Structure 1
Amino acid sequence: MADSNFISGQSYEPLRRLISDTRLQEILGQIRIRSTGETVDWSEQTLSPTDLESSTWQPKLLIAIDGDYSKSIVENGYPGAEIGYVTVSTVVILLDKVRELEKSAFIDPKKFRETERPTSVDSIFVGCNVVLDGEDSVKSSMRKMLYQVLGKFRIFDNTETLLETFEALLKEKPGGRAGKCPHDNCEADYEFSIGEYQCKGCGGKLYSTDSLRLHELQNPSGTNGEMYGQIMETLKKLQLIHLLRSFEQEPKYFSFFRDMAFFIEGTLAVFSTASWLAKPIRTELERLNQKIKDELNSELIILGIERTGNFVKHFSDIDTKKTGEDDNFPAQSIFLLNNDYIKNNIVFNDNPNFVYLEDTAFGRKFFYKTKAGYRVVASLATYNNYQSNTQTSFPAQFPRLADVVGLLDKLVSSRYENSVTPLAAAHAEAAIPLNLGKSIFEDIARQINTQSTPS
């Protein structure tokens, strides 16, 4: 009886916890602890906007990109059958109209909403146990849907589709092994190409978008949240480049680059199976920025804003005094992160050759505490090797930094913690997509062009 009681669930659970606790203590004793050292005087470690060249820049357009996804069970006779609903939203904010409304003692909410113009790239992708008519597997169904989604969306009537934007980046893809054919039971190597084509091994249909390898994330026997999330993140980065190339391809709107700033939720990097996109994106941004410098004597502003994660947590930590009070980090202070600081304080790695996000990023991180005292963790797009070199952190490596922090002072508020108003609007549109497939850019560009022709 005693032995039976010993192995019962009631008696076993405390023993299990004791064993776990012993192992936990052993592991805790081996964990390396970062030495916080002496309290940092951040007023001596940071820049102030007054240390930068003064800025009088007044943008006319803010363009923000965010995304969301959800999962839904479908009834098709197979257990766990699932589809994913992915939305990437773009919101344009007409700052000229906002400034005009701000002159009034009372702002009409309806008129204020009219300063924001949203649109969405909306799509459905199949997950576990869902196969389209004419396809032989869940994987082939998903691959076809991704290719078709990119082919349907474009910004202006006379510019390229989102698929053509992607295929322009694909042409710059670094060389190397392409991988195995995505068709089941085919072991042939294949090369990525443009459009639709056939595998040389099995003759099965292939798509240019197969090079993103997002189908490899598909879970055939469970939920596919990781795949939907990576599809969303990849589409956000492609949408950014699509917007830039579309404005370039419309000559009458090219000069708007001088008056625009672009925001995207999250860091400026590409992860997972599509991480190879980072290098072609860097190449494309360098090309386009140089053209804007040559023709408009200006540069792009592209900002990634992080709402959560280790960098946000670290900024909060260094802003907290030992007494538990905030404001250890002075207001209107800029801290430019370099690789050594990131390795030693945020992302631990004692490999001397380690470079944080060396192959996947197309921007540089910095911390900024606004004039009103709100923290922002941001990434600023870079356009040459000097700017991208994270071994150093000089103001000249962060393009248009004075313009950027001046803009953040105006856009960050307590209403949207760790974010900016344009991204809050884009996130709301992505979460509740009321304007699916609605094209807004033609109307906006035409409206601005008739109101004021940029000099």
Structure 2
Amino acid sequence: MGYSKEKASKFTHQHIIKNELVQDFLQRCEKVGYHDIIDLDYEGKITPLKDITDKISTDIKYVITADGGYQEVNINDKFPSHTLCYYNVGILTFAVADLFALDTQQTIDPDDLGKLKNLETFSFVVPMQNIKLKECDFKTSVRKTIFEIFRDRKLSGNDGDSKDSLLNTIKWLIFREYSDKSGTMQITCPNPHCDERLEFKRQTDNYLDEKNDFIKCHNCGHIVYITDCFELHDLVDEINGAGAITSYIMSVFEIVLLLCMFRFFMENNDEKTLSKILFIKDGSLALFSRLDDFAFKVIRPFMQFLYEKSLRDNVSYINFVGLDKSGMFVEHLKNTESKIAKNSVVLPNLGYIKRFITGENQSVFGENTYFGIKMLVRGDENLSFVLDMAVPFGLSNSYKQYITSPKITDFLCLKSVLEILFRLKCDLYQNSTPMAFVPIALINKLVSISNVPSKKILTIFSKDKVK
């Protein structure tokens, strides 16, 4: 490997081409033919689009999506580095009718941005290395910064009511305010000299009270923020900094931001509005690494609760999907797309996943990370993608049990969701697998932070502000 920015040699390929051992090896190789590729076990897992029906009728009128971008900047060219990470996350609401109006052009034009409704952006900064809050050590600085990010950002904007904060949505989910109000969360004390396992629960009857934002460790007296449930501080240290948590901060912020919408409508007794909204996440319906406790102990039960409520009320309150751009499932789709019948959906079970995608292992794919179920969708020759749909089972079932034999008929509004997504495909990235979609492509453009000129400007800005 060369040094950073070192240009590669223009002639060393000659040594490879002229090497007799290389030539001999290639002559002993042959291409694997299309019919020689291992047969995929689609029996019972593939469903023609024409055979898919909605379990519950729905009339989706809006699409809401969230996405973010981040950029690390180093404000010191010498050792030690002083690094910050800037984030820009947006949530965007579209009328489905407006999105369908873009269907005829299939490309993203800057003028289209004027048609967008209700864009709200959230910007924040996190210390990454050798920068800390005054009177705090580095790890505490990162913990406190994460807590303040969720406390101070509100769905209703910077000037909105404090009850609309993202932090209150985290508490609403953890304490299960949407159902029996008895939820708790196990959190390890962040004091490196303690490691006591603590139960985080409401300290007062009203979950909105600030007293429910933190607890004190009964062993060492250390302050524990409710956002410590993400346990990202375990990936932070004084030497290596916080670089390992950059993407996790954005992932959990995006998810909590979308779930704020659920809390808003449910607390205002307007759940039926949820049936008119398709929520789209850029990426899997999952949270990884240290965030997995929050994913399967907090978010997944909420999705299961809404699924049961939807069945009882015969209204789909949970039209929530993820669209994968990369990963093992996307690579599998690229390699097998030609063998999947057009206009069909493959719903892989655990056996299929282990045999053809992840390989055989003792763990259950997604058991501690996913709150959605993956499927492979193929339309015509120009349309294929990996789709996550929110878990289609109630609280009496478990992900581990369900993934062994998922059923297309369990999904509430798969037919309607697919019809909308097919109309929203975008040719911004031609010949791409998976397909790009208009809402994701548009919000990507709005929130991404470029290397030039944004990174340079943020570096200058940081140098001026941090002394």
Contact kept? 1:150, 1:163, Cα under 8 Å: yes
SS at match of 1:127: strand
Separation in 1 of the partners of 2:109 and 2:243?
Answer: 40
Q: Is 1:256 paired with 2:264? A: no
**Amino acid paired to 1:167:** K
Please state how far the C-alpha of 1:373 moved relative to its aligned partner. 2.6
> What is the match of residue 423 of structure 2?
410
Aligned ranges 1:18-417 → 2 under 5 Å: 38-40=38-40, 46-53=46-53, 59-75=60-76, 79-99=80-100, 110=111, 113-135=114-136, 137-156=137-156, 157=160, 160-171=164-175, 178-179=187-188, 181-183=189-191, 185-186=193-194, 188-193=196-201, 194-222=212-240, 224-251=242-269, 254-278=271-295, 279-295=297-313, 297-319=315-337, 327-351=338-362, 354-371=363-380, 373-385=382-394, 388=399, 389-416=402-429, 417=432
Please state how far the C-alpha of 1:415 moved relative to its aligned partner. 1.9
Please state how far the C-alpha of 1:126 moved relative to its aligned partner. 1.0
Contact kept? 1:88, 1:120, Cα under 8 Å: yes
Please state how far the C-alpha of 1:297 moved relative to its aligned partner. 2.6
Structure 1 residues 109, 175: closer, same or farther in 2, change over 3 A? closer
Q: TM-score, normalised by structure 2?
A: 0.73
CA offsets, 1:227-250, max 9 Å, x none? Answer: 111111121222222221112223
Contact kept? 2:99, 2:424, Cα under 8 Å: no
Structure 1 residues 125, 292: closer, same or farther in 2, change over 3 A? same
Contact kept? 1:387, 1:398, Cα under 8 Å: no
CA offsets, 1:125-178, max 9 Å, x none? Answer: 11221111232x111111111111111222245653210111223336997964
> What is the match of residue 438 of structure 2?
421
Structure 1 residues 223, 383: closer, same or farther in 2, change over 3 A? same
Please state how far the C-alpha of 1:116 moved relative to its aligned partner. 4.4
Separation in 1 of the partners of 2:220 and 2:280?
Answer: 43
CA offsets, 1:84-113, max 9 Å, x none? Answer: 123332121122334568799xx9964663
RMSD: 3.4
Structure 1 residues 328, 413: closer, same or farther in 2, change over 3 A? farther
**Amino acid paired to 2:243:** G
SS at match of 2:426: coil
Please state how far the C-alpha of 1:379 moved relative to its aligned partner. 0.7
CA offsets, 1:305-358, max 9 Å, x none? Answer: 110111111101012xxxxxxx4433321101111000001001244xx32111
Runs of 5+ unmatched residues, structure 2: 1-35, 177-181, 202-211, 451-467
Please state how far the C-alpha of 1:63 moved relative to its aligned partner. 0.7
Separation in 2 of the partners of 1:189 and 1:76?
Answer: 41
Contact kept? 1:372, 1:409, Cα under 8 Å: no
Please state how far the C-alpha of 1:277 moved relative to its aligned partner. 1.2
Structure 1 residues 153, 424: closer, same or farther in 2, change over 3 A? same
Structure 1 residues 160, 44: closer, same or farther in 2, change over 3 A? closer
Please state how far the C-alpha of 1:285 moved relative to its aligned partner. 1.9
Separation in 2 of the partners of 1:131 and 1:99?
Answer: 47
Separation in 2 of the partners of 1:89 and 1:204?
Answer: 34
CA offsets, 1:266-295, max 9 Å, x none? Answer: 111121112111222122123334445555
Contact kept? 1:368, 1:376, Cα under 8 Å: yes
SS at match of 1:47: strand
Contact kept? 1:258, 1:296, Cα under 8 Å: no
Aligned residues, how many?
Answer: 386
Greater displacement, 410-419 / 226-235: 410-419
Contact kept? 2:58, 2:275, Cα under 8 Å: no
Separation in 2 of the partners of 1:59 and 1:176?
Answer: 34
CA offsets, 1:343-383, max 9 Å, x none? Answer: 001001244xx321112211110000124631111110014
Runs of 5+ unmatched residues, structure 1: 1-35, 320-326, 434-455
Greater displacement, 50-59 / 116-125: 50-59
Structure 1 residues 128, 99: closer, same or farther in 2, change over 3 A? closer
CA offsets, 1:38-70, max 9 Å, x none? Answer: 545979962211112279965321111222222
Structure 1 residues 248, 372: closer, same or farther in 2, change over 3 A? farther
Contact kept? 2:57, 2:413, Cα under 8 Å: no
